[in-house]
Amino acid sequence: MSMNESGGAGLARAAAAPRAAPPPFEMLVSAHGTAVLRVCRAMVGVVDADDVWQETFLAALRTYPTAQKVVNWQAWLVTIARNKSLDHLRRTARVPEPMDTAGDGPLEGGDVVVHAVEAGETAAAVWAALARLPQRQREAVVYHHLVGLPYAEVAALLGNSEAAARRAASDAMAALRALLGGDGKGHGKD
């Protein structure tokens, strides 16, 4: 955990370094393309993620020359990716599973997960497990653990407090460990 914390802080520092002008847009694509892809995949699924990734960067590019006040390009792009993902979900009427109200919680999807694991699709299994999480938990884990945003930025995205964001991520990790078999192959500490 401590490694991750320092990683997040490092990213934030680098992104917040004062610049005279926005860098060439290509630099943003190469520096943050991965983070945006992870957000899109987690939000809309691997298949639709490519389209949403494209929409995200095009939207960013349209407003880019006037985005002078942005201090953290990564957080800015993740915000756009999140909005584009939510738009996409609304458009396709595939509202993210409202797990909070589903009663039995994440373990409900266990069968799908087991299936995927048995098929040897490790990544698919993890995506499936992630998809079973309540949206807020899923987002917290993606923004913090996959993208590397500090909890303060995660809270800003989710519109909650830093403590709540931290709790959501930690609940999510516990749920993922339960879903994927915490001591399974390669799943060590986090």
Partner 1 sequence: MSETGIPQILAPLTGGEAAALAALAGHFSAAAAAEGLVDVAYRVVDSPVGSLLLARTEAGLVRVAFASEGHDSVLDSLAANISPRIFLAPARLDEAARELDEYFAGHRRRFDLTLDFRLAQGFRREVLDYLPQITYGHTASYATVAAMTSSPRAVRAVGTACARNPLPLVVPCHRVVRSDGRSGAYLGGPEAKALLLALEAAS
Taking the C-alpha atoms of residue 129 and residue 132, their distance in angstroms, rounded to an integer, is 5
Taking the C-alpha atoms of residue 64 and residue 25, their distance in angstroms, rounded to an integer, is 8
Residue from 86, 126, 156, 164 touching partner 1 (CB under 8 A): that is 126
Long-range contacts of 121-124 (CB under 8 A, 24+ apart): none
Residue from 13, 17, 18, 32 touching partner 1 (CB under 8 A): that is 32
Which stretch in 77-85, 89-97, 126-134, 153-161 sits in contact with partner 1 by CB under 8 A?
126-134
Tell me how far CA of residue 38 lies from CA of 29, 52, 113, in angstroms. 13, 11, 19
Residue from 146, 152, 156, 164 touching partner 1 (CB under 8 A): that is 146
CB of 155 to partner 1, least distance (A): 18
Give the rounded distance of the alpha carbon of 79 from its chain centre.
10
CB of 121 to partner 1, least distance (A): 9
CB of 48 to partner 1, least distance (A): 13
**Identity of residue 35:** A
By the 10 Å C-beta count (0-12 exposed, 13-18 middle, 19+ buried), 139 is classed as: buried
186 part of the interface to partner 1, by CB under 8 A:
yes
> Interface residues with partner 1 (CB under 8 A)?
3-4, 6-8, 10-11, 20-26, 29-35, 37-38, 41, 50, 53-54, 57-58, 61-62, 64-65, 122-123, 125-127, 130, 141, 145-148, 173, 176-177, 180, 186-190
